[in-house]
Amino acid sequence: MVEADVMNAVTPTQDPTLERRYSDFDTLVEAIEYAAKGLRGPNFFNARGDLVESLPWREVRDRAEVIGRKLVGMGFEKGDRIALIAETSADFVCFFVGCQYASVLPVPLPLPTSFGGKDGYVSQLQAQMQSCDANGLMAPGFMNEIVAEATEGMELRFKGSYQDYLDAAKDGDLRLPTTDDLAYLQYSSGSTRFPHGVAVTHRSLLSNTHGMGFHGVRLEEDDRCCSWLPFYHDMGLVGTLLTTLTCQVSVDFIPTEEFARRPLSWLRVLSTNKGTITYSPTFGFDICSRRAALRSSALEGLDLSSVRVAGCGAEMIRPEVMREFYNTFKSIGFKMGAFLPSYGLAECTLGVSFGTVGKGIEIDLIEESILTGDKHVLVNGSDSQPRMREVVNCGKPLPEYEIEIRGEDGQDQPERSVGRVFLRGVSVMREYFNDPETTRAVLSPEGWLDTGDMGYMKDGCIYIVGRAKDMIIVNGRNHWPQDIEWAAEQLPGVKTGDVAAISVPGENAEEVPMILAQCRHSETADRLKFIEDLKKHIQKSTGINCMIELVPPRSLPRTSSGKLSRVKARNEYLAGNLQALAS
């Protein structure tokens, strides 16, 4: 399809017929009813940048109402859960919204492409459906065999494709939610082995999308969003789908699996439709830079001058990746100031803090000794050339939040002192669904959420330095696995996600740092050289002497949102379920 045809077919960026409202609604149903009065809406593209389907929010509303009536007529009751396989499609969007018209909870779950093999996916799907006590499942037709296997023995009210639900004979009356009803369940990224479904109310959702649209990215009339993020992940679901819906923005979607095959499809759709807002974890920017470096013609026909917000979050933000992306694409108009660092988590619906739009990446250069326990208060400067680390400013918390940085004694820490991040606000989850014990472990009766993240405050802004549970402690010193993994990934031939930094028991109960590295070499000599190169590279970059174990490609476990699961990798390795390659 030629560019002109795409431009003529997509929903418009601007809409003078409808005044923008920033998620000031009581429920998601009220939000879609308002958006349906305008011309904007979602558009779906393939990896070549061809438009597959376009529909205004009005059509989403109309199709959602039909689904809502079908669900009620089929006997689904208020609060029932429907596992919803998160294909990047109009069917998913309409079904998700349709559940709201029946006060049924959609539970977005990954496609099989997010996992290394069928058995692992079936096991994960079963665990999540059992965790939420699902009453139904909606999945694309090509998944019929997998669905049958994963749901064997489960008593479901119905399972099938979008069309199967539409073909149900009986319609019922719409059953609309109230603001304190649950809107959906979101599986958090740390939920591979023991799934935790975050229970999100309409009040929490609308508060968070208001904060992100009005205060975070500061939406403007000519804004248009573009995303490759999966709908089962909080950044994809809330950040690029539900925020655009509740703030009446047109949005262009590329399937996640298509982006994985052709990363530059993201930039191509951004360029063609003059997208202004997009979001990605660090690795998304990294993979685009790497792919562009492989082809001299990669930038031909691309123009990124329209991008005013290139949000980054969902994992540790690496300034060097952002700088490389800028250097790679500045010739086609990308601006360094477009980067917008942020911090968020599913337990807070999504967004917690945002940098200042237009300022780009702001960093704090601190001594590494601060993060290893040798000092307690952050001090810039040099003392016989100490090892320094760049920490990204993730911005000021949205107005709804209270934030505390607590030390090991539970006391609030002074500014520029590292501690555990605690949050309280309207968007904090009500609970982990059907899991009171885990809920009590992270959520106090007063509403304070223990995020499990470590960070510090400076001038009212939050700086995240890592995950407390992932920390590797060696000889009393703290080491962040992200730093070790990053060092390993700078070795030629090592891809993002190829390595997991863990610790294993050593002598006298001490922890020994270890790298589990996916290896594609078949010859013993090549494997031995790979191990030696990794050791030297990590030692040089971090000062840490790591053990190296090579494992087969695609064998490192992932979380429900596709991230590397260090906890599960460690457990599987120690249990002997992650077999090391001979070297």
Q: Which CATH architecture has domain 3-341?
A: 3-Layer(aba) Sandwich (3.40)
Q: Out of 73-82, 215-224, 488-497, pick the least confident.
A: 488-497
User: What CATH number should be reported for the domain whose range is 362-469?
Assistant: 2.30.38.10
pLDDT of res. 282: 86
Who contacts 95 (Cβ-Cβ below 8 Å, separation ≥6)?
A: 64, 67, 84, 106, 138, 162, 165
Q: Is 205 in contact with 349 (CB distance < 8 Å)?
A: yes
pLDDT of res. 285: 92
pLDDT of res. 323: 93
Average pLDDT, the chain: 87
Domain 471-574 class in CATH: alpha beta
Identify the band that residue 376 occupies on the pLDDT scale cut at 50, 70 and 90.
Answer: very low
* Interval 225-236 mean pLDDT: 93
Interval 310-322: pLDDT, tens: 999 877 788 888 9
Q: Per DSSP, what are the bridge partners of residue 312?
A: 280, 341
Using alpha carbons, list the distances in angstroms from residue 19 to 22, 23, 61, 222, 536.
10, 12, 18, 13, 59
Interval 524-564: pLDDT, tens: 888 899 999 888 888 777 767 888 989 988 888 876 556 77
335 SS3 class = coil
User: Greater confidence, 225 or 114?
Assistant: 225
User: Greater confidence, 380 or 411?
Assistant: 411
Question: Rounded to whole angstroms, how far apart are CA atoms 404 and 413?
Answer: 8
576 SS3 class = coil
pLDDT of res. 292: 87
Beta strands 547-551 and 511-518, pairing class: parallel
Is residue 151 scored above 70 in pLDDT?
yes
Q: Is 474 in contact with 513 (CB distance < 8 Å)?
A: yes
Q: Crossing angle, helix 319-329 and helix 282-294, to 10 degrees?
A: 40
Q: Is 224 in contact with 252 (CB distance < 8 Å)?
A: yes
Interval 354-364: pLDDT, tens: 999 999 999 98
Question: Rounded to whole angstroms, how far apart are CA atoms 279 and 309?
Answer: 8
Is residue 153 scored above 90 in pLDDT?
no
**H-state helical runs in 217-347:** 234, 243-246, 256-261, 264-272, 282-294, 319-329
* Tokens at 92, concatenated: 């998913």
Question: Rounded to whole angstroms, how far apart are CA atoms 122 and 139?
Answer: 13
pLDDT of res. 371: 55
Question: Rounded to whole angstroms, how far apart are CA atoms 414 and 422?
Answer: 14
Using only the alpha carbons of the chain, give its radius of gyration.
24
* Percent of all residues in the chain with a pLDDT value above 90, rounded to a whole number: 53
User: Greater confidence, 365 or 562?
Assistant: 365
3-state secondary structure 138-151: ECCHHHHHHHHHHC
* Tokens at 387, concatenated: 């090892």
Is residue 3 scored above 60 in pLDDT?
no
User: Greater confidence, 139 or 543?
Assistant: 139
Domain ranges in the chain?
3-341, 362-469, 471-574
pLDDT of res. 505: 74
Provide the total of helices (H) and of strands (E) in the chain, helices listed first.
19, 27
How open is the CA angle 492-556-571, to the nearest 5 degrees? Answer: 130
